[in-house]
Structure 1
Amino acid sequence: MPEPSPGPSGAGQTRRRGAALEEAILRAAADELAESGLSGFTMDKVAARAGTNKNALYRRWPDRLALAVAAYRRMATAVQPPDTGTLRGDVLEWLRQANRYWGSPQGAILRELLAAAGGATELLAQLQDQSGDTAAAPWLTILGRAVARGEASPEALHPRVATVAMVLLRNEFVVRGAPAAPDEVLVEIVDEVYLPLVRGRSTPPS
């Protein structure tokens, strides 16, 4: 069913439906989230910005948090892991990118959403997959390149091993209560923990 035309008469307005209406809502929601943050994000504001009514939003998303997560996913852009030519260079640069992102305005929105999602497993998975921070795929890509170069053995290609550097960085955010860590902490994570762990994962002698 198409949405009612906005305005008292709907003159000059084209009735949107389906994908066109959903795109308009997500675009408005992303703009609202970027402008107001999660604390100021409401279904009323998004509906007004999209030129539609709240029913059109609730038919697609059950609440404002679900819509905010969808809007964030629209805002976020996929970033390819670096390829510096060395495992150390790749891991350090990927950590630095994550560190910069978490300290950015968009990173602040992500932190708000993660906190608000709480125990909502599905929403948390959507956010973590989109942010790429603890998702295993890019880390396995980095580690796979290292294996191909002979810097690591195939036994190191395990998701828990691959992502341990980011897990440690995330722990720094929690412990320090700040969205960014000093660069020397990143270097320490790479040199004192990550590289020794990866290089220690080799086939035991028979």
Structure 2
Amino acid sequence: MRIAIAGAHGQIGLRLGSLLAGRGDLVVGLHRKPEQEQALRAAGVSPSLLDLEATTVDELGDAIDGCDAVVFAAGAGPGSGLARKDTVDRAAALLLADAAERAGVRRYVLVSSTGVDRVRDGATPDGMDDVFVAYLRAKLAAEDDVRGRDLDWTVLRPGRLTDEPGTGSVTLSDAVQYGDVPRDDVAAVVVALLDEPRSAGLVLELVRGDVPIRQAVADAVR
């Protein structure tokens, strides 16, 4: 397969690119800064320098032309303000969907977050800071938009991300108890979802667990 990853320089994107390239897929890594190119090439990913907050749908469409799938793994990241939660976590995800439609790339995997339903209908959970509320609202808006498109989309909602080594086993379902999950396992689940056409049209939540990843995906699509 030929797969484009938005946010390929990020911690999940780089892991995902390495997994895909390692098994022989052609991976296009969309990234923001020239200095990120070396790490992408070392992972076997072909860099494509594009700032998702500044590029056009035509430029992005050209970058993903010929791909079999796109993955949105970008995020504004810790320390970013309210504005970038919207421009990255929402607007860039929608721009990638626009470009996918224009380029004829039907498969779209959106990495979102658990907890987005807590802010649906403008709700503000007690004790949650404004920036995290903005992050969840941006992710929710991206989900709602992508789910309304004529794409073979899958939404993956990981729990709290950790840098612990992946275990290869997870809990994956339409609703899970809140918990954490290693970024390694998130990347491996995205690979398994890309390989499973029946995951299209599903919203799945992900935390650490004891079910091997391939089995967890097979169970989730039944």
Q: TM-score, normalised by structure 1?
A: 0.29
TM-score, normalised by the number of residues in structure 2: 0.27
Question: Larger % of strand: which?
Answer: 2
Which of structures 1 and 2 has the bigger CA Rg?
1
